[in-house]
Structure 1
Amino acid sequence: MSVIDYVREMHSAGLYSNVRLMSSLLITFSDNNPELLSPGAHYQLLVYHADALHAEREFRKAEATYRQALQQKKFLGKCVRVRSGAGAGAGAAAPPPPQGLPSELEVKYKLADCYMNLRQDKDAIAVLDTVPAKQRTPKINMTLAGLYRKTGQERSAITCYKEVLRQCPLALEAILGLLSLSVKGAEVASLTVNTLQAMPLLEWLSMWIKAYAFAYARDYPRAITTFCSLDKRMLLKDNVDLLTSLARTYFRSGDRKNAITRFQQAQILDPYLIKSLDLYGYLLAKERRLEELEKLGVRLFGISDQQAEPWVVMGYYCYKTKKHTRAVYLAAKAIQLNGGCVQALLLKGSALRAMGKLHEAVLHFREAQRLAPNRLDCYEGLVECYLSLQRTRDALNLANAACKALGCTAPVLTMYACVWLHETSSTDKAHGLIDRALAQQPDLIKAVIMKAELLRRDQKCEEAMALVRAALTNRSVGILHRILGDFLAAINNTQEAMDQYSIALSLDRSDSRALEGMQRLEREEGGGGAEGVSGEDDGDDVEGISGEDGEGELEVSDTETAPWAEHEQWFGMQ
């Protein structure tokens, strides 16, 4: 065996630190005396050395070494051609090409992987584009499809996904990629189900494709029904992937309660589950279940800190406890691990907005919207930033775009109405939009809150109180009890107002505005005065459209921060 054979054996055995050291010495040896090793052996050493660097995540150095290897491969090809020509001129047989060399396709794939880890997606595409279409493996096509999709080249992405399915008809991620790019479910099924009709154990596949086709087409009721049908099948019952997909579909349909329930079921079945639990953390944060949220973050960190989800979950806990600087750091760490993590972008945008860094927040919400154009909270975050920046026209344009992209659903109409509400001369339009929203979904809390505010502006307090009371008969929500308390205080019904504030605080102990209202009434009763309650609250009382309830979370300041929290230059996306 030659020394190259021994290095190859170590490489095959995964002894990358040993390969790195040995190949480094041999490459220097060859550079100082090029005649001691053949061009083919030198090429192998460069590839093995680059693979070792790649395995140890030194992507910048690995990228440079892979480049050297490709240059050496070109030189090797020229040497073979020169010898072949010389041999043919002398009437001798051409020498065979060197055998057992690392695949050039694999070298290009790993070079592209280095670029992706360095967030140089355009360079990664440029490398893989040099591979002729007929020579592309399913792995290369799948990678190219993802890169094309990230850079907005949807047609090219569709072509690559279809090529993957032509070679591997059970590549389910490729199926989801096509459905997410608005390819019809029937067309996708024709690429898979028709090829596998005679194969046993795949009777469920057509229904699985149909469920995701409904979900990506925003037909959430039918998607939920189809997912539930799959879950009820004996052989697919309690499948974790199906449960998390069902949870995400419930979330997109606006049903937080069922989404949380399905995520909980999935965790019971798979205690090491991480995927999609950033969304579960977001839902717990929305429901202000902070103790559960903190426990979830700690548990996920115990499973892995190399995924974005644990950082996002703990980031939402910090955000809800008003440690906004920490939340920004944790979100930035999640983005570093997964640049396409929408939930991390939303978290960072929300935390930056809470810190008053509105222009930076806009950038993050825009990126989230680009990656997930079907998620309403991406539009809501942007709209809130625009309104805070007094860019009402931009907010109106964005709300109108949301209606076109997501349809005129009750939550979208409510967001649109909120924008018109900031136009003091346009309350009629806000009234019309909010009435349409309530006609579709009478129990939508945001719509009820906004309608009550519109009625307050029109000095129709009795109607507003009746609306809030009707909503409370269906669902007891702390913010509605607090708003009802505000109305009761305004008409000097002190005792019932105190009762409503008490209920609001029992449901959400962090509701600082309910606590302030109660303390104000106690002061007035103690002082015997009648400081006009309505006079203290003449400002716009509308809650934020994202439902954050004025950020009435636990009073924990950013002064108790870790050393890294002071270095905001670390928080960028780079």
Structure 2
Amino acid sequence: MEGRMGTSIEVLREQMTFLLEQGLHDSAEMVGNFLMSLVSTNGELSPGSRAECMILYGDALYGRKEHRRALNVYRQALQLCRATPKQPMSGTRTPVQSRPASAASAAHDSKINENEVKYKIGLCHLAVHDTRAALSEMEGIPSKARTLRINLTLAKLYRMTGYDRVATASYRECLKQCPYVLEAIVALAELGMASKDIHALFPQGQGKISRSTTEHPEPVRWLQRFADGHSSITTHDYKGALEHFNSLGQRFPNNPHLLLESAKAEMALTKNDEAAHNFEKARQIDPFNISSMDEYAMLLRSRGEHMDLNRLVHDLISIDATRPEVWVAAAVYWEMRDDKIRALTYADKSMRVDDRHTSAYIVKGNISLALNRPEAAVMAFRKAQLLKPDLRSYQGLVRAYLAIPKHKEALCAAREAMKAMPQSAKALTLVGDVYAHHPDGRDKARRFYESALRLEPTYLGAVLALAELYGLEGRNEEAVSLLQRYLKTFVDDALHTKLAQILAASDKLGDSLFHYQTALSINPANDAAKKGLERLEKQMKGVDPDALEEEEENEGEDGDADAEEGEFL
């Protein structure tokens, strides 16, 4: 009887190994139930053999995404491993994701890698979002026994829990083991490591980077260029980043990653036409890609492309509704439809999917400001800044602090931006914006705006801010002259809107009407132009636009609540 039971255990174990190798986790879990039944009733089975069977069963549960069940089984297996006399290890087994049945391959020689079991336990903790427990488990693996995958997972866990210095060390170790771990290069750049220090981690000799003896050492050079591009992004040198990514794009044409990184850098430089082209090209190459599509959604929103944004969100939801980018894009869409409460709901949903997704906090901050919730906006922008500081988080913080108002904090945030981006016209303009809120600070504001335009003569943000300042000071003719000068070169809805506002304040209502209409013909979603045109039409009818504003806002809450046909819910 015992012999037949032992044979049955061996047969079931071999069948589970086969099923897991084929990726048939449901079938493997069902077979595992029969295997565990025999294991539990066989008193002669050694602890090591029991542990091997349990690891197989845990792999099946992990493959079914039943992570808590798998965690429980792996823990029992680890206890049995520790009860087994120690034997020398014959190498490290493959992690659970890449080959779940790896434990079974060692079953026949009764050698179990306890470090591999710890790693699997850590993965289960990570899957149920218990990062501290995952980190604690994986830190128990000796450094000499850490494979590339273990080091990479550890690096991510350290970064998620705020241990940036140790995360940097773990990412460095990954690159020493394999220079092609590109996500480690990106992470090190984001953690502030200088590109030359990343270069030093790449193999200097030919043999270390390729087994081919005929390959030219060009791989090292393009890896260096890749590191340079991402380091430039971290230091807000978007022009430099574009140069690096464009250079790589010549060697690796139609590369979605390079196209998307270039598009985001172009957005930061307000090169929206070029950014749109690269986003669209990336979509044509890989229409099922979701990475960075939330950034594309923000670009479409800024360009007033309602139908394209609607179509993009439909596509993203149908591809994978479990990604945070999808719900950020949905939030951007509903914010564009002026349904800010629904937009905020989707932004929060994105954060529940991934609480480290930076753009979700940027969008939430902007929506909170639009809803007159500046304190909530400060919290959102601060979180975005902690995760990945960029100009948008600084701009949001300044706007939020000014809305509270907390002018001292706003000035600190603006100066932080200027310190982080010393050669940025946008950062200089941001400092000017803070000073412009005080009548006594307008001279300083003007100097900052003028400095921004000297640094970057084509930066329209500084032009608009300077025109606004002229308007506040009653220098409407100078504001009109400035805006008209730039309109000779730029076809821009914001310039037309600002000019229309200045002209309306100067009682030049006919000219103001022309520029509002021009702005809306360029960008139908320009909210400032829409509201300005409504006010202007009342003025032209001899009605005080401020007298009925509150009443009309209340009426508007009851209208236009339904989505257009074909829009997502």
**Alignment correspondent of 1:498:** 513
**Alignment correspondent of 1:294:** 310
* 1:47 matches 2:55: yes
Out of 128-137 and 60-69, give the one that drifted further.
Answer: 60-69
Q: Deviations over 1:496-525 (max 9, x none)?
A: 122112212222334454345445444454
* 1:339 matches 2:355: yes
Counterpart mapping for 1:354-369 below 5 A? 354-369=370-385
Q: Distance in 2 between matches of 1:519 and 1:184?
A: 52
**Alignment correspondent of 1:196:** 206
Contact 1:27 1:45 in 2 (8 A): yes
Counterpart mapping for 1:347-358 below 5 A? 347-358=363-374
Displacement after TM superposition at 1:136 (Å)? 0.3
* 1:384 matches 2:399: yes
* 1:487 matches 2:502: yes
Contact 1:418 1:430 in 2 (8 A): yes
Distance 1:229 1:8, change over 3 A: closer
TM-score by length of 2: 0.83
Displacement after TM superposition at 1:27 (Å)? 4.0
Say which SS state the counterpart of residue 76 (structure 1) adopts: coil
* 1:126 matches 2:144: no
**Alignment correspondent of 1:393:** 408
**Alignment correspondent of 1:422:** 437
**Alignment correspondent of 1:167:** 177
Displacement after TM superposition at 1:486 (Å)? 2.2
Displacement after TM superposition at 1:141 (Å)? 0.6
Q: Deviations over 1:381-404 (max 9, x none)?
A: 222222222222222222222222
Distance 1:178 1:482, change over 3 A: closer
Q: Distance in 1 between matches of 2:240 and 2:146?
A: 37
Contact 1:318 1:326 in 2 (8 A): yes
Distance 1:108 1:284, change over 3 A: same
Q: Distance in 1 between matches of 2:491 and 2:149?
A: 52
Displacement after TM superposition at 1:52 (Å)? 2.4
Which amino acid in 2 is paired with 1:398? A
Out of 11-20 and 510-519, give the one that drifted further.
Answer: 510-519
Which amino acid in 1 is paired with 2:47? P
Contact 1:20 1:49 in 2 (8 A): yes
Distance 1:479 1:252, change over 3 A: closer
Out of 108-117 and 517-526, give the one that drifted further.
Answer: 517-526
TM-score by length of 1: 0.82
Q: Distance in 2 between matches of 1:16 and 1:320?
A: 44
Q: Distance in 2 between matches of 1:97 and 1:513?
A: 70
Out of 69-78 and 107-116, give the one that drifted further.
Answer: 69-78
Structure 1 residues not aligned, in runs of 5+: 82-95, 537-553, 563-574
Alignment equivalent of 1:138, drawn from 139, 148, 152 = 148
Distance 1:558 1:412, change over 3 A: farther
Out of 282-291 and 458-467, give the one that drifted further.
Answer: 282-291
Counterpart mapping for 1:7-86 below 5 A? 7-24=16-33, 26-27=35-36, 30=39, 33=41, 35=43, 37-77=45-85
Contact 1:322 1:556 in 2 (8 A): no
Say which SS state the counterpart of residue 243 (structure 2) adopts: helix
Displacement after TM superposition at 1:323 (Å)? 2.1
Distance 1:310 1:556, change over 3 A: farther
* 1:404 matches 2:419: yes
Contact 1:322 1:555 in 2 (8 A): no
Say which SS state the counterpart of residue 20 (structure 1) adopts: helix
Distance 1:30 1:405, change over 3 A: same
Contact 2:259 2:279 in 1 (8 A): yes
Q: Distance in 2 between matches of 1:323 and 1:296?
A: 18
Displacement after TM superposition at 1:77 (Å)? 4.1
Q: How many residues are matched?
A: 523
Say which SS state the counterpart of residue 194 (structure 1) adopts: coil
* 1:149 matches 2:165: no
Which amino acid in 2 is paired with 1:146? K
Out of 167-176 and 447-456, give the one that drifted further.
Answer: 167-176
Which amino acid in 1 is paired with 2:163? Q
Distance 1:399 1:476, change over 3 A: same
Q: Deviations over 1:235-275 (max 9, x none)?
A: x2222222222223323344232222112222222233222
Q: Deviations over 1:131-182 (max 9, x none)?
A: 1111000000111112222333233222222222222233222233333333
Which amino acid in 1 is paired with 2:177? Q
Which amino acid in 2 is paired with 1:501? Y
* 1:117 matches 2:132: no
Displacement after TM superposition at 1:449 (Å)? 1.9
Contact 2:49 2:110 in 1 (8 A): no
Displacement after TM superposition at 1:223 (Å)? 3.0
Say which SS state the counterpart of residue 279 (structure 1) adopts: helix
Q: Distance in 2 between matches of 1:164 and 1:134?
A: 13
Displacement after TM superposition at 1:64 (Å)? 3.0
Structure 2 residues not aligned, in runs of 5+: 1-6, 89-105, 208-212, 548-555, 565-569
Displacement after TM superposition at 1:478 (Å)? 2.0
Q: Distance in 2 between matches of 1:123 and 1:56?
A: 21
Say which SS state the counterpart of residue 191 (structure 1) adopts: coil
Q: Distance in 1 between matches of 2:360 and 2:479?
A: 37
Structure with more contact order per residue of length (Cα contacts < 8 Å, sep ≥ 6): 1
Which amino acid in 1 is paired with 2:18? E
Q: Distance in 2 between matches of 1:178 and 1:54?
A: 30
Q: Distance in 1 between matches of 2:539 and 2:182?
A: 65
Displacement after TM superposition at 1:215 (Å)? 4.1
Say which SS state the counterpart of residue 271 (structure 1) adopts: coil
Out of 120-129 and 308-317, give the one that drifted further.
Answer: 308-317
Displacement after TM superposition at 1:76 (Å)? 2.7
Distance 1:222 1:353, change over 3 A: closer
Q: Distance in 1 between matches of 2:107 and 2:261?
A: 51
Displacement after TM superposition at 1:121 (Å)? 2.0
Q: Distance in 1 between matches of 2:536 and 2:20?
A: 76
Q: Distance in 1 between matches of 2:426 and 2:449?
A: 10
Q: Distance in 1 between matches of 2:31 and 2:446?
A: 75
Q: Distance in 2 between matches of 1:517 and 1:363?
A: 31
**Alignment correspondent of 1:547:** none
Contact 1:248 1:259 in 2 (8 A): yes
Contact 1:260 1:283 in 2 (8 A): yes
Alignment equivalent of 2:194, drawn from 181, 184, 197 = 184
Contact 1:501 1:514 in 2 (8 A): yes
Q: Distance in 2 between matches of 1:299 and 1:364?
A: 27
Q: Give the CA RMSD over aligned residues.
A: 3.2
Counterpart mapping for 1:241-260 below 5 A? 241-260=257-276
